[in-house]
Amino acid sequence: MKVLRWLGWGLGALLLLVWVAWTTATLYYANLSQAGPRTALALGYLALLGGIAWRVRPRTRALRFVGVASGLVALAYLLQRPSNDRDWTSDVAVAPTVEVDGDRVTVRGVRNFRYRSATDYDARWEDRTYDLSKLRSLDLFMIYWGPVEYCHTILSFDFEGGEPLAVSVETRKEKGEGFSTFGGFFKQFELIYIFGDERDLIGLRTNHRREQVYLYHLRTQPGRPREIFLAYARFADELARRPEFYDTIENSCGVNIVHRVAEAGQTVFKGRDALYNGYWDRLLYGLGGLDKSLPFEELRAKSLINERAQAAGDSPDFSRRIREGLPIPPPVAGR
């Protein structure tokens, strides 16, 4: 019986430690723009719990007080709601809205920055109109900034006779905030869809951040790019009215692509495949979603666009030049 009692105490202590760690993380990654206040909150909370555990007796009373204090922190976290009204960094300051009138689509808040460096730029937001009857194809950018299992994914919609429109799903950061994978688990960021010029969204990553960027032409059924674009438009417009929190697992860039494609009537990735978007090109190749006239590794090597993007610089024909030499997959017949 004594062994069972000790095992029970040990399990209870472990669960308590996990609970305290989680509630401390909710404070450390709270939706506050400055790291100082967040750190002070987390340390103050730990000091309070430590003081209770040290001074309050009997031990059962101390545990009750710890439970109440940590429960209040958890309740505050659960009651936290996303907002569109914060002091945003300039690159996510404008939440785009989209109006659809038949084939005519007006996007207000298209980002078209001009960069001297990753942090030094001229901010410019534009209203642009697109004709959905001229939407011809859909491209996928895969942007590697760290581990190979994960990357940032961007879809770009190519219109006949016009410039492509790229859409990047990102964290909406406040001034003083930086991206944090762990912060994305704890409601630190809101979610935003950035509609932008490729010279901005792609050139920033190839030419200034020096991230590895791959570009793939996607094989899609006729009409599918339009359906996906409309799914993006509806959701982005909804976000401007009803914000959501970014979530590293459940509401990230890759997961949003999977959801929008599903809304357009096609399920491509599920489970781990949806989460590990760093392998999407290999999976799409196997599913016939990319050009298969070349072995995959050769296709991937040709799809790395950094050199072409850096040579194009801020050229008006940036989008054309980064696509030079890319294999074009055969069209999908039927619907």
Task: Dump pLDDT digits (tens) for 129-185.
Answer: 999 999 999 999 999 998 889 999 999 999 998 999 999 999 999 998 888 888 999
Which residue segment(s) compose the domain that 65 sits in?
2-79
Sort 185 into a burial class: Cβ within 10 Å, 0-12 / 13-18 / 19+.
Answer: middle
Check: CB of residue 309 under 8 Å from CB of residue 322.
yes
34, 140: one domain: no
Q: What is the pTM of this model?
A: 0.92
Do the Cβ atoms of 292 and 218 come closer than 8 Å?
no
In sequence order, which residues have a C-beta less than 8 Å from that of residue 5 and are 6 or more positions away?
Answer: none
Of the residues 59, 79, 99, the one at which a domain ends? 79
| Cα gap 239→236, rounded to integer Å | 5
Domain end call among 49, 79, 109: 79
Give the separation between CA 225 and CA 236, rounded to whole angstroms.
16
**Are 219 and 331 a contacting pair, CB within 8 Å?**
yes
Residues 14 and 136 in one domain: no
Q: Which of 18, 46, 79 is the last residue of a domain?
A: 79
Q: What is the rounded distance in angstroms from the CA atom of residue 210 to the CA atom of residue 118?
A: 10
Residue 196 and residue 35 in contact, taking contact as beta carbons nearer than 8 Å: no
pLDDT at 1: 67
Whole-number Å distance between alpha carbons of 231 and 249: 21
**How far is it, in rounded angstroms, from Cα 167 to Cα 180?**
21
Same domain, 143 and 261: yes
Question: What are the residues facing 168 on neighbouring strands?
Answer: 154, 194
Band (89; pLDDT cuts 50, 70, 90): very high
Residues 44 and 122 in one domain: no
> Which stretch, 18-22, 48-52, 107-111, 160-164, has highest mean pLDDT?
107-111
Both 45 and 184 in one domain: the answer is no
